Amino acid sequence: MATKKQPEETVQPEANDVEIVDAAPYDPWQDKRDIYIPKMSQTEQDTLEIGLNDKTYFVPKGKMVSLPYPLYAIVREMIKRRELTEKRAKAMSGVKPMNSSVYL
């Protein structure tokens, strides 16, 4: 036998309860973050070219720069991946090459 569900009561806040204030919308392009982009060698370019949303940004290397958060996130990820690649390359440099004549 099915019973009808009673509608749940909704509680309305009192006038003297917590006041809700509208916060300003978050704009990631106004959120600046500092980051250092290392220059790996003397022959490397002085700037890092970043493409985002059909725009190209040139960021100087070898000094501390302040970037909007979207560009900062890209650069931070690039630096992490570069460090991981270098770590793996260094680990693999200790591996002895296989004898290629075995596979002929």
The SS3 of residue 23 is: coil
The pLDDT-based confidence of 100 (bands split at 50, 70, 90) is: very low
Share of the chain above pLDDT 90, in %: 36
> pTM for this structure?
0.62
Q: Tell me: the pLDDT tens digits for 55-89?
A: 999 999 989 999 999 999 999 999 899 888 888 88
Q: Tell me: the pLDDT tens digits for 13-54?
A: 666 666 667 778 889 999 999 999 888 778 888 998 999 999
Render 46-68 in DSSP notation, one character per residue: SEEEEEETTEEEEEESSSEEEEE
